[in-house]
Amino acid sequence: MPGFRILSMSLLALLVLSACATSPTGRKQVIFASDAELEAQAAQAFAQMKASTPLLTDRATIDYIACVANAIVDELEPPHDGLNWEMAIFDEDAINAFAMPGGKIGVFKGILKAAQDQDQLAAVIGHEIAHVTARHSAERASRVVTTGVGIQVAAILLGGGHSGATYTAYEALNAGASLGIMLPFNRGQESEADIVGLEYMARAGFDPRASVPLWQNMAKENEGGPPEFLSTHPSSERRIDQLVSQFGSSLKLYNEAQAAGKRPNCQR
């Protein structure tokens, strides 16, 4: 099928050339996934998760986590400062948190086993929000979309030329692409979220140095986890080294925030 291959490569090259973007750290990105579609998918997934997972009802803990999240959201720039950010706290012991396109934040109460004070929690939430502002989900979904022409060709072959069968085959092959928001981030995106998240927490008046004990706690909670080369996440040791390398700039932002009166007092 040489003709299909030439057409596929030509269309893909055109898409890539017309979809260049730059991440908050200056990294070149290729993004042509629809932000509106990703936000709609995220809203649906978030609603389903809230409906199927127990939500925390302890008011003191809810207020504590919301206090930290609100302080960080207040430091966001356009267009993300204009989002109606929504948060859900799940009554589960998983040591996890996430953020989705469109301003969705999910926190599992188990994260408090590793994030033991407001500054450590700010490192977690800042990191997750940075995934959204850096458009990592759109970037990740776009990598799936780059195979779209190939998916169409495969659908034609699987459908045997019958339009109805081709449509069904295409929908089946494309199902994974529509779940791009749920796929894990790669190491580069994780490291970038660390850097940007550190800036957010520092601008809000949280001590960026708390990110080191946070990841030390994470390492203790995840003893026996896979080595770095088997994971999409940087190892805790490498992550800590990268964070420390950012302290020169992040501590400057933190000191400026403190001098400006930004002194969060989020208590459990």
Residue 131 falls inside a structural domain? yes
- Reported as a single tens digit per residue, the pLDDT across 204-216 is 999 999 999 999 9
The number of angstroms, rounded, from the C-alpha of 34 to the middle of its chain's C-alpha atoms is 16
Read off the tokens for 117. Answer: 């004070």
Residue 45 falls inside a structural domain? yes
Sign of CA dihedral 44, 48, 49, 54: positive
Residue 131 and residue 99 in contact, taking contact as beta carbons nearer than 8 Å: yes
Residue numbers of the domain that contains 69: 35-138+186-259
Residue 180 falls inside a structural domain? no
Query: Phi and psi (nearest 5°) for 219?
Result: -65, -40
Let me know if 86 is a catalytic residue: no
Peptide bond into 54 cis (omega under 30): no
Residue 51 falls inside a structural domain? yes
Read off the tokens for 231. Answer: 């994971």
pTM above 0.85, yes or no: no
Residue 162 falls inside a structural domain? no
CA dihedral 192, 196, 201, 203 (to 10 degrees): 160
Q: What is the pLDDT at residue 156? A: 43
Q: Which of 39, 77, 92, 128 is catalytic?
A: 128
> Which residues touch 244 (CB under 8 Å, ≥6 apart)?
212
Which residues is 206 bridged to in the sheet? none
- Reported as a single tens digit per residue, the pLDDT across 50-109 is 999 999 999 999 999 999 999 999 999 999 998 999 999 999 999 999 999 999 999 999
Residue 1 falls inside a structural domain? no
> What is the arithmetic mean of pLDDT over 245-260?
97
Provide the number of structural domains found in the chain: 1
Residue 146 falls inside a structural domain? no
Residue 216 falls inside a structural domain? yes
> What is the arithmetic mean of pLDDT over 112-133?
96
